[in-house]
Each structure stands twice: as C-alpha cells, then as structure tokens.
Amino acid sequence: MALVLVETAVGGTALLFLTPLWREVRRGFFYLTGSVILAVAAGAGAAGAGAYDASAAKAGRLAVGLAFALAVATLLWLVLVIRRAAPAGRIVGIAAVPLGIAALVAFARTTDESLGLAIFELLAGAMFTGAVLDGLLLGHWYLTDRKLTRTPINRMTLLLIAAVVVEAAAVVVGFGSGAKSTSASSSLNPLLTIGSSASWIAVGMVACTALIAAFIRLTLRGTRATAVQSATGFFYLAVITAFTAEIAAKVRFLP
C-alpha cells in the first residue's frame, strides 16, 4: 500500500505542476488537489513506517523519510498558495517533483527486484495513478468553474491514455513473477500466491482502464456540458480499475 500511495502522490504532483494547469484553473483546484496529495503522501509514509523488513530496514527508513518529506513539501506549497504567494508556491511544487522521484527510487531499493526494473515500474505506476487522480478531481472542478474550457480535461485524458500504454509495458515486463509465497502476500490474499494470478489481474485491470480511457475520450467529443459530467463518472471507474491494477502489480514486490 505504501508503494501505491507514494506513486499516486508523486504522479499527482508531477501532472499538477508540469502541465499548464497553473495558467488554466483557479487556485481553488490547487487547494483541492494539494489536500488530497498531502493525505496520500502522509499515508504512504505511515504505511511504510509500519512495514519495515529486517533485511531492508535501512533503505526503508530512507524511503519513509522521503515520503514524509514529500508530504511536508506539499503542505508548504499549499500554504503558500493559500496565502497568495503563488509564485513561491509553484516553485516549491515543482521542487517537490524530484523529491518525489527520489522517494520512488528509495522505495525501489527496498524490493528484491532489479533496481532499474523496479524504478521503471514505480515511475509507470506514478504516471498511471497520478493521471487518474488528477483527472477525477479536474472533472469535479468543472462543476465549480463553469467557464473552464475543455482543454485541461482533454489533455488529462490523453495523458491517461499515454499512461495506460506505459503501465501496460511495465506490467508485461514484470509479468509472470507473480506474488511470492510468503506470509505477507498470503495474508493480503492467498489467491495472489497462485501461479501468475497477480500478473493476470494487473493485465486485466490495465486493459479495463484502457477501455475506460477510450470511453472518456469519446464522451468528451460531445458538445453538451453533461459530457464532462459523464467523463467524470468514467474517471471514477478508472480509479477502481487503476488502483486494483497497481495493487496486483506491486504484490510481487512484497518481501
């Protein structure tokens, strides 16, 4: 859970600050998204702190520390934006992206996987879950800002489609590893220890997310205002399928 949460926090931060959203939406959207990312980053640190493995405790403490550092950075830029120091808040927000990537690398070092492969899978997961989270919150924001053009949500949908492709590649690369037959994976779900069931679940859920992303794209071609509401409903489904895919894909990282 720590892996999935830190991915989401990093991906959500990156797509928030490395896209033109800053010039397109009102500050309120950053209040909303920043609050969610803060909770997710803090949750990642808390989940990791309760899951140290004796063989990787040193690396685990670094990973947890960086997850909490990401939460602190998120709180800082959020406070700056609320206090109308937007330029400073944006600088801190952008700086939080490499901090988050460092956290992903630190978490990758706690696994038994190849470091390069683990980093790739975590970065792919960050892009995947981040696009789903920001897309869902952006869809809701259209209920507040009726004058907002379709450009931001159309772009987020294209980013989600691209993220699905990258995530599919990451799942395929790690396919077949399955969940190791340990007490950790068995306590989560015994079925995940059978053969390559975890990998198959991940593949299936990524495919479902791809289908949902296609529906979102087609829905947004409609000219009515309700098209964005319908797309937001599809983003809800994408949250379920994407997070299920990520949990299944990361089960094999368990010690």
25: nearest Cα among 167, 175, 120, 137 = 137
What is the C-alpha to C-alpha distance for residues 200 and 249, in angstroms, rounded to an integer? Answer: 9
CB 156 within 8 A of CB 138: yes
First-to-last CA distance in the chain? 13
Same domain, 31 and 126: no
What is the C-alpha to C-alpha distance for residues 3 and 107, in angstroms, rounded to an integer? Answer: 7
- H/E stretch holding 185: helix 183-188
Of 79, 110, 141, which residue is a domain's last?
110
Same domain, 104 and 123: no
Same domain, 126 and 55: no
| 75-116 pLDDT, tens digit each | 999 999 999 898 999 999 999 999 999 999 999 888 877 888
pLDDT value at 11 more than 70: yes
Domain tally, the chain: 2
Beta strands, E only, 123-201 = none
Same domain, 95 and 139: no
Q: How confident is the model at residue 81, as a pLDDT?
A: 93
| 21-79 pLDDT, tens digit each | 988 999 999 999 999 999 999 999 998 887 766 666 677 888 999 999 999 999 999 99
Q: Which domain holds residue 39?
A: 1-110
Same domain, 240 and 213: yes
Same domain, 249 and 128: yes
Percent of the chain with pLDDT over 90: 61
Higher-scoring residue by pLDDT: 246, 222: 246
pTM as predicted:
0.87
Mean pLDDT of 229-252: 90
What is the C-alpha to C-alpha distance for residues 199 and 181, in angstroms, rounded to an integer? Answer: 14
What is the C-alpha to C-alpha distance for residues 247 and 255, in angstroms, rounded to an integer? Answer: 15
CB 16 within 8 A of CB 33: yes
